[in-house]
Amino acid sequence: MPDIDLYTLLTIVALGVVTVITRGFFLISDRPWTLPHWAQRGLQYAPIAALSAVVLPEIVMSQGQLVQTWMDARLFAAVVGAAYFFWRKGVLGTIVSGMAVYLPLHVGLGW
């Protein structure tokens, strides 16, 4: 068995201690703990911010560069999916309508 570096072992133990403390912090207190109003309000936007940070670059970028042409199936699929969502408010229909546009353009026309 190879020798374990002391710094590596210390790092693993320190990360374990930090994890236990941060995750157990909410169990230590006897009284109910609430977030301030400004933090609760900010957390309402967290899912939208995270989703847009992941999805938007996938739609408008290719190979780390902005899409250079309108002949990109992702653009049309995103527009149709967004339109369906604002019209019907259904997630499944949004996915199906977006893919119904994306697949023929991407597979059929090679966009």
**pLDDT for res 27:** 77
Query: Does a structural domain hold residue 72?
Result: yes
Measured at the alpha carbon of residue 60, what is the angle toward residues 74 and 82, in degrees to the nearest 5? Answer: 55
The pLDDT, as a whole number, for residue 1 is 53
Q: Does 80 map to a domain?
A: yes
CA-CA distance, 23 to 46, in Å (whole number)?
Answer: 20
Tell me what pLDDT residue 111 has. 87
Strands 65-66 and 61-62: antiparallel
Query: Domain for residue 39, yes or no?
Result: no
**DSSP strand E in 1-111: where?**
61-62, 65-66
Boundaries of domain holding 96: 6-31+45-108
**Structure confidence at residue 18 (pLDDT):** 94
Question: pLDDT at position 13, please?
Answer: 96
Would residue 36 count as lying in a domain?
A: no
Task: Indicate whether 37 belongs to any domain.
Answer: no
Domain total for the chain?
1
Predicted pLDDT of residue 2: 67
Could you list the mean pLDDT of each consecutive 10-residue stretch along the chain, which spans 111 residues? 82 95 80 87 90 91 89 94 94 95 94 87
Q: Return phi, psi of residue 62, to 5°.
A: -140, 125
pTM of this prediction exceeds 0.75 = no
Burial letters for 14-36: b for 16+ Cβ neighbours within 10 Å, e otherwise? eeeeeeeeeeeeeeeeeeeeeee
Residue 97 resides in a domain: yes
